[in-house]
Structure formats: C-alpha cells, structure tokens
Amino acid sequence: MIDRVVYWLFRLTILLMRPLPLRTGYWVAGHVAVGCYLTIFPRHRKALNENLARVLRSNDARFIDSVARRSFRNFGKYVIDFIRYPAMTREEVRRRLRFEQFDDLNAAARSGRGIIIA
C-alpha cells in the first residue's frame, strides 16, 4: 500500500514540478525536502545527525543540523534534475553539465591503468 502512495506522490510531483522554471522548482523542492527532514523522518533524522557528527567530528548540534538540512535541500534539487532530465534538449544538458578536470581525466586515461568515475 505504501509503495502505491509513494508512486502516485512521485507521479504528482512530476506533473506539478516539470513545467515550473528550474529556479522555482529548486526552491520548492528544497523547502519540501527540509520540511520532510523536520517532520516526516524523525528516526532517520536522528541517525543522519549522529552519522554526520561522527564523520565531521563535531558535537555542535546546530552545525550538524545545518549540514543535514543542506543535504536534504540538495537531494530535493537532485529530484528536480531527475524529473526534468527526460525533457531536456542536448543543448540544455551540455549547458548545465560542468566538467572542470578534463586534463586530469585525460592524464589518467593515458596511464593505461583504467579510470573509475563516481
């Protein structure tokens, strides 16, 4: 049952978000994601904050909370990109992608040892 609800919520999100300008979609998604962080996932929020505190070696709860919110906000932006990608033209994809270390990639390729891109 929950799978169907999630599926239809995602379809509704696609329907509502795809026609919006990109900046507006990012703004809406960022706020919805932070709202989810604050309200829907309290157990996951606690685990996330504990993990961030460990990784960032910080006990500053305000700092950890701000990093977690930013992570959720960025995930919301990722969802917008995911939703919009099938409708993008090649030119829009080229314009939006930035690859700043092409020289490093070429050097790695010339080494003959293989490349892992993540």
- In-domain check, residue 58: yes
Number of domains present in the structure of the chain: 1
Residues 73-105 as b/e (b if ≥16 CB within 10 A, e otherwise) read beebbebbeebbeeeeeeeeeeeeeeeeeeeee
- In-domain check, residue 66: yes
- In-domain check, residue 44: yes
pTM of the model: 0.72
- In-domain check, residue 37: yes
pLDDT tens string 16-71: 888 899 999 999 999 999 998 998 878 889 999 999 999 999 999 999 999 999 99
pLDDT tens string 2-23: 788 888 988 898 888 888 999 9
Q: Which domain holds residue 16?
A: 2-111
- In-domain check, residue 116: no
| CA end-to-end span of the chain | 34
